[in-house]
């Protein structure tokens, strides 16, 4: 017959397990967005914000991707972006020039995907098949204004490091 102490320990462990306090897995669990939208996430960005003010400009930024928020949840499922992202964008930049096109790319240490919020509120993202070591998006006749870019990792257990490159063209 088990003692009252043994039953208390078992009950305590069951409570901790049900609350998620004991996590023996090496892969983090996906985080909920807490109702955050892509636009409100851009407003929380505190990093350096560069500006493209000429069709010849190229912006670069080193990023580290450790996010556990499903990109699908960040966009509200429209569009259904793949991967796991930080809630706050990886990079934010402004466009003040009239451009023919804008290319956003990420070169990193593992499989990645991109999601971009345009100044018009459109969310662009690649599909899982287009993800890889260097995902890229090209926007024809991009609007002037503020852009937010999220780099996502396909495998949540794999941290990514790399560089975002934003290249303008006439």
**CB atoms inside a 10 Å sphere around CB 129:** 7
Distances (CA, A) of 59 to 49, 84, 110, 124, 131: 10, 24, 21, 19, 21
Rounded CA separation 11/108 (Å)? 45
Q: What is the pLDDT of residue 126?
A: 73
Rounded CA separation 161/152 (Å)? 11
Q: Which of 108, 92, 8 is nearest to 48 (CA)?
A: 92
Domains of the chain: which residue ranges? Answer: 28-169
pTM of the model: 0.77
- Digit-by-digit pLDDT tens for the chain (170 residues) are 555 544 544 544 444 344 443 333 344 444 444 334 788 889 999 999 999 999 999 999 999 999 999 998 888 888 888 999 999 999 999 999 999 999 999 999 999 999 999 999 999 987 655 667 899 999 999 999 999 999 999 988 888 999 999 999 99
Q: What is the pLDDT of residue 3?
A: 58
Q: What is the pLDDT of residue 4?
A: 58
Rounded CA separation 67/71 (Å)? 9
Q: Which of 3.90.700.10, 2.60.40.10, 2.60.120.380, 3.30.470.20 is the CATH number of 28-169?
A: 2.60.120.380
């Amino acid at each position: 017959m088990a003692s009252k102490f043994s039953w208390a320990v078992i009950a305590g462990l069951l409570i901790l397990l049900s609350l998620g306090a004991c996590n023996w897995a090496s892969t983090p669990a996906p985080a909920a967005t807490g109702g955050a939208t892509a636009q409100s996430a851009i407003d929380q960005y505190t990093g350096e914000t560069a500006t493209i003010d000429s069709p010849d400009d190229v912006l670069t930024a080193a990023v580290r991707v450790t996010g556990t928020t499903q990109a699908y949840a960040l966009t509200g499922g429209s569009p259904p972006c793949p991967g796991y992202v930080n809630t706050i964008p990886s990079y934010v930049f402004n466009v003040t020039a009239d451009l023919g096109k804008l290319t956003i790319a990420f070169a990193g240490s593992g499989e990645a995907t991109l999601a971009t919020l345009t100044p018009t509120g459109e969310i662009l993202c690649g599909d899982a098949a287009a993800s890889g070591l260097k995902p890229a998006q090209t926007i024809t006749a991009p609007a002037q204004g503020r852009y937010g870019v999220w780099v996502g990792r396909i495998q949540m257990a794999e941290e990514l490091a790399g560089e975002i490159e934003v290249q303008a063209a006439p």
